[in-house]
Amino acid sequence: MILEKGEQILFEVRKHWFIYVAKVWVFPLLALVPPVALIVVVFSGAELPASVGAAHLALGFFFYFLWLLLLWVIAFILWTDYYLDEWIVTPHRIIDIEQRGLFYRDIASLRFDRIQDITAEVPGLIATAFKFGEIRIQSAGSEREVVLTGAENVIEVRERLSEQLKKIAEAPQRVVMAEEEKGSGVQTQETTE
């Protein structure tokens, strides 16, 4: 499993469904090509050979089912590629999973304390309408930049990541402040009540 023992998922960031639909919208049209072609031939008045009968229609159906099966399987291969390409955000890190086709999978992890900048970009009219875009995270040191293109709710995701980043940044300060208070004998409001 990608997660460490006891590590919880805060949220997942996926590509927007529009990205998938943009790849497969043509499939229903391709599925309709054979019946439409048959209807065109029948209604065009073209004379079919006398030998063509019910048996040939059944054979046509056989090839049509194979054609649909091909489209069906390709659609699910593309869906798998789309669905498994994601970011998993945990309290301390972002796990970037890049799925390319069925046989290439790249997993990288970026800790929040290494993050320097998070940028979100919504390019164009369609992206604005469907609220998707590109999120780019720059990290300190030699770690690579993490990018997710076509991410859903890109602005909201950026805000949530920034909040988490802020929490992580403030966490060590809280510990120091608590230690200082303990050392100087300053009591907090909670303890005096």
Interaction between residue 17 and another protein (CB under 8 A) = no
> Based on CB atoms, which residue is closest to another protein, 29 or 125?
29
Is the CB of residue 149 less than 8 Å from the CB of residue 97? no
- Find the binder of another protein among 21, 25, 72, 188 (CB under 8 A): 72
Instruction: Name the nearest CA neighbour of 131 among 111, 94, 159.
Output: 159
> Based on CB atoms, which residue is closest to another protein, 56 or 167?
56
Instruction: Name the nearest CA neighbour of 20 among 104, 95, 91, 99.
Output: 99
- Find the binder of another protein among 21, 28, 80, 187 (CB under 8 A): 80
Interacting stretch for another protein, rule CB under 8 A, among 80-88, 121-129, 130-138, 166-174?
80-88
Per CB under 8 A, which of residues 105..164 are in contact with another protein?
105
- Find the binder of another protein among 19, 24, 30, 68 (CB under 8 A): 68
> Based on CB atoms, which residue is closest to another protein, 78 or 168?
78
- Find the binder of another protein among 4, 10, 42, 83 (CB under 8 A): 83
Q: How far is the CB of 59 from another protein (least distance, A)?
A: 4
Instruction: Give me the DSSP letters along the chain.
Output: --SPTT----EEEEB-HHHHHHHHTHHHHHHHHHHHHHHHHHHTTPPPPTT--HHHHHHHHHHHHHHHHHHHHHHHHHHHHHHT-EEEE-SSEEEEEEEETTTEEEEEEEEGGGEEEEEEE--HHHHHHHTEEEEEEEESTTPPPEEEEEEETHHHHHHHHHHHHHHHHHHHHHHHHHHHHHHHTPPPHHHH-
Q: How far is the CB of 107 from another protein (least distance, A)?
A: 10
Interaction between residue 28 and another protein (CB under 8 A) = no
Q: How far is the CB of 45 from another protein (least distance, A)?
A: 24
Is the CB of residue 169 less than 8 Å from the CB of residue 147? no
Binding residues vs another protein (CB under 8 A): 9, 12, 53-56, 58-59, 61-62, 64-66, 68-69, 72-73, 76-77, 79-80, 83-84, 86, 88, 97, 99, 102, 105
